[in-house]
Structure 1
Amino acid sequence: QAVRMCSLIFWGLSLVIGVTQASRGDHSNEYTGCYHVCHFNNCTSKMGIAAYESFQSFSEKILQWTCDDECKYFCMWRTTQIFIDRGMDIPQFFGKWPFARLWGMQEPAAVLFSVFNLLAHAVNLSQFCHTVPSNAPLFKMWFLHALICINAWVWSVVFHARDTPWTERLDYFCAFSMVLYSLFGLVIR
């Protein structure tokens, strides 16, 4: 009975949901053409890469921006401007909206808010350790909860500062672990 109901819901939703196109920006001719020219002209020779690295800021070096990444960023904004000039909606690139970098960070506002969440958990952990005796029931469980949350917010800061496949996975997995452990805490309590 339940399997049949799930099957009906799945097929019903598949009829209602229209065909979508993912990341219109990075699949556009404007973007791909720009990227190939930029990459060929700047990132295929040692001299081109050396020229790129000589103009890199310290924060971009720390966050490991490459010549290839810079071409993608440049072409993202060039393509976005073309879309705007044509009266089209701003497209997504690689499944994400375009954000302006600040000090090499991809999403500075998200970094700031993640830092605030990280600090809130760290301050509350400190207060918790000073006010609750370590032999109290569930002390270790809530202490571990705070550590899991702090770890998740650290990876959120890293991911929003520099989006790579690894930082994305670490952010999502750690955020999921925070949600799971919070659910565990809810059930135990």
Structure 2
Amino acid sequence: MNRGTWISFVFTFAFLVQCLSASPGDRDPIYRNCVSQCETEGITGDMTIPHCKNETIKDGAWYSKEPLYEQWRQLNCKVDCRYHCMMQREEERRLQGLDPVKYHGKWPFLRVFVFQEPLSAALSALNLLMHFTGWLSYFKLVHYKLPLRPQTKRPYYEYTGLWHIYGLLSINAWFWSTIFHTRDIDLTEKLDYSSAVALLGYALILSLLRTFNVKIEAARVMFSAPILAFVTTHILYLNFYDFDYDELLSIYATPLEC
């Protein structure tokens, strides 16, 4: 490897490391101290966070914990503390004449009723509606308008089932995206990212099968198995390794983030 290649490699590595760093907002010591104090005491400024009192008894008896429906109805301690500390810190920065900064990979947002990110939730819901209507129209076209094979009563098009799966995975991904942007908690975050990865992996499989016109079942399995194994491993890694939002964005879209 020549000298120029080594220099390029070092610069590329440094570039990626810089992209994987945390956002400026959550590196702020004032913000970090605010979140830490809020999670410990349940107080931030003049505001009391009632959820934190329940979450301090994580190892206690089941009846001492917050019911599941309450956890869904109300935001949990960590999310609430981050939100209120972010808003307080941004107000301080505004009074100092400073520009807004990102927190955990996101720009400061203002909640609207139950929606933590109303615009993102609305756009995800529109995508969900579009994919659902598209899949429904495709289903009607294939099964009720086009001729079927007389022996099996199945469509002539060999990729019908694969496209149905793609449509259902798309609906699932945008559904959880809508829920995630409405309620950003650990469970909805994992479901959103896992659904997105599953959709991307399946889209890659489908594009390869369609591009190379693979119709034999054994060949389809050979194409799909390595990608399915990788996608499954990646989903397990995302669910059992503690990423934050900024790190996930860096992994999926490093060039875009930087």
Do the two structures share a fold, i.e. TM-score over 0.5? yes
Q: 2:25 corresponds to which residue?
A: 25
Unaligned runs of 5+ in 2: 55-69, 144-153, 211-258
Q: 2:99 corresponds to which residue?
A: 89
- Is the aligned partner of 1:145 residue 2:145? no
Of 170, 182, 186, the residue aligned with 1:165 is 186
Q: 2:50 corresponds to which residue?
A: 49
Q: 1:135 corresponds to which residue?
A: 155
Q: Do the aligned residues in 2 keep the contact of 1:25 with 1:80 (CA within 8 Å)? A: no
Q: CA deviation at 1:146?
A: 0.4
Q: Distance in 1 between matches of 2:107 and 2:25?
A: 9
Task: Show CA shifts across 1:120-166 (max 9, x none).
Answer: 11111111111113433211111111011111111111111122233
Q: Secondary structure at the match of 1:132?
A: helix
Q: Distance in 2 between matches of 1:140 and 1:78?
A: 52
- Alignment RMSD, CA only? 3.5
Q: 2:222 corresponds to which residue?
A: none
Unaligned runs of 5+ in 1: 54-59
Q: Distance in 2 between matches of 1:170 and 1:6?
A: 40
Q: CA deviation at 1:61?
A: 6.5
Task: Show CA shifts across 1:54-88 (max 9, x none).
Answer: xxxxxx97443135533321111010111122222
C-alpha change, 1:15 and 1:181, in structure 2 (3 Å) is closer
Q: 2:122 corresponds to which residue?
A: 112
TM-score, with normalisation over the residues of structure 1? Answer: 0.75
Q: 1:57 corresponds to which residue?
A: none
- Range with bigger deviation, 117-126 or 88-97: 88-97
Q: CA deviation at 1:17?
A: 6.9
Q: 1:65 corresponds to which residue?
A: 75
What letter matches 1:172 in structure 2? Answer: Y
Q: Distance in 2 between matches of 1:177 and 1:48?
A: 36
Q: 1:12 corresponds to which residue?
A: 11
Q: Distance in 2 between matches of 1:6 and 1:186?
A: 34
What letter matches 1:81 in structure 2? Answer: E
Q: Distance in 2 between matches of 1:48 and 1:179?
A: 38
Q: 2:224 corresponds to which residue?
A: none
Q: Do the aligned residues in 2 keep the contact of 1:63 with 1:162 (CA within 8 Å)? A: no
Counting aligned pairs with the same residue, the percent is 31
Of 187, 199, 202, the residue aligned with 1:181 is 202
C-alpha change, 1:35 and 1:155, in structure 2 (3 Å) is same
Q: Distance in 2 between matches of 1:83 and 1:116?
A: 34
How many residue pairs get aligned? The number is: 179
What letter matches 1:32 in structure 2? Answer: R
Q: Secondary structure at the match of 2:175?
A: helix
C-alpha change, 1:100 and 1:62, in structure 2 (3 Å) is same
